Amino acid sequence: MVSVHPTALVERGAELADGVSIGAYAIVGPEARVGAGTSIGSHTILEGRTEIGAECRIGSHVIIGAAPQDVKYHGEPTRVVIGDRTLVREFATIHRASSGGSGVTRVGPENFLMAYVHVAHDCQLAEGVIMANQASLAGHVEIGRSVFIGGMTGVHQFVRIGEFAFLGACSALLQDLPPYVKAQGNRAKPFGLNVVGLRRHGFSAEAIHALGQAYRILYTSGLNTSQALAQLDRELSGIPDVQRFIDFVKRSQRGISK
């Protein structure tokens, strides 16, 4: 059964799965699709080709699927896709993709976007990402799984953040942040391995020790990035978690935060 408040507007063509609830004064556009058991809060707007998964909780005054803030965009049929069990709090904004990008802005599943968060066009967020209040992503940002981004933090366009990384509050990240690393500041600088986060996610003591060695080689050995990568390849590349760390750094186009 679908529950729609009498003051809400659900336009013809919108698809609402079983158990969806739509709050007061919400607007659901004609191309929106909402998964089973999802709730949409009051005054929230779903625009464009917006797809929201099952069992999501979308708060009040949220805007999802608005046109990207990109002068190259001229109405192309791009999308927003939000995975299952994602929580989006009040006044957050998630824009659909722009032209020339992936064609989709993707969030989740199981993300938690707190109040006033902004996710710009073409961003790609893996599962389990947490963004605290007023954190903002510029266009084409890629976020790995189980990343935490502190409140009032800004991430530059085309920047990547690797899985299980931690970015502290009030930061400005202009270059890629490798997996498992903590960083903070304006401009954000690494300050160690995210040991607490790794333990919470079940990483073994042996894996954490190996990642600590990799961190020290890259950041505190005095080697430049190319030299550090060569040493990591020689000494630690056979360890899966470290290999993901190495591969991320090698793929960086903007350079890594150091």
pLDDT in tens, 78-99: 999 999 999 999 999 999 999 8
Active-site annotation holds for 74: no
Same domain, 8 and 134: yes
CATH number at residue 105: 2.160.10.10
Mean pLDDT, rounded, for 133-152: 98
pLDDT digits (tens, 9 = 90+) for 15-38: 999 999 999 999 999 999 999 999
Same domain, 131 and 206: no
Return the pLDDT at 208.
98
Return the pLDDT at 256.
98
CB 68 within 8 A of CB 120: yes
Q: Is the pTM of this model over 0.95?
A: yes
Same domain, 21 and 108: yes
Return the pLDDT at 100.
81
The DSSP line for 111-153 is -EE-TT-EE-TT-EE-TT-EE-TT-EE-TT-EE-TT-EE-TT-
Give me the residues paired with residue 64 across strands: 46, 94
**Nearest to residue 112, comparing CAs of 145, 138, 78?**
145
Same domain, 103 and 229: no
Share of the chain above pLDDT 90, in %: 98
CB 31 within 8 A of CB 50: yes
Point out the catalytic residue in the list 95, 118, 121, 140: 121
Return the pLDDT at 102.
85
Label residue 178 left, alpha or beta by phi (over 0 means left) and psi (-120 to 50 means alpha): beta
Same domain, 124 and 26: yes
Tell me which amino acid residue 252 is: S
Q: Which helix (H) or strand (E) segment is 243 a member of?
A: helix 240-251
Q: How far apart are CA 210 and CA 145, in angstroms?
A: 20
Return the pLDDT at 171.
98
Q: How far apart are CA 58 and CA 65, in angstroms?
A: 13
Please, what is the average pLDDT of the chain? 97
Range of the domain at 132: 3-140
pLDDT digits (tens, 9 = 90+) for 172-204: 999 999 999 999 999 999 999 999 999 999 999
Active-site annotation holds for 122: yes
Give me the residues paired with residue 183 across strands: 167, 190
Question: Does a structural domain hold residue 256?
Answer: no
Same domain, 135 and 203: no
Active-site annotation holds for 139: yes
pLDDT digits (tens, 9 = 90+) for 220-231: 999 999 999 999
Mean pLDDT, rounded, for 122-126: 98
If one counts the domains in the chain, the total is 2
Point out the catalytic residue in the list 59, 101, 139, 144: 139
CATH number at residue 241: 1.20.1180.10
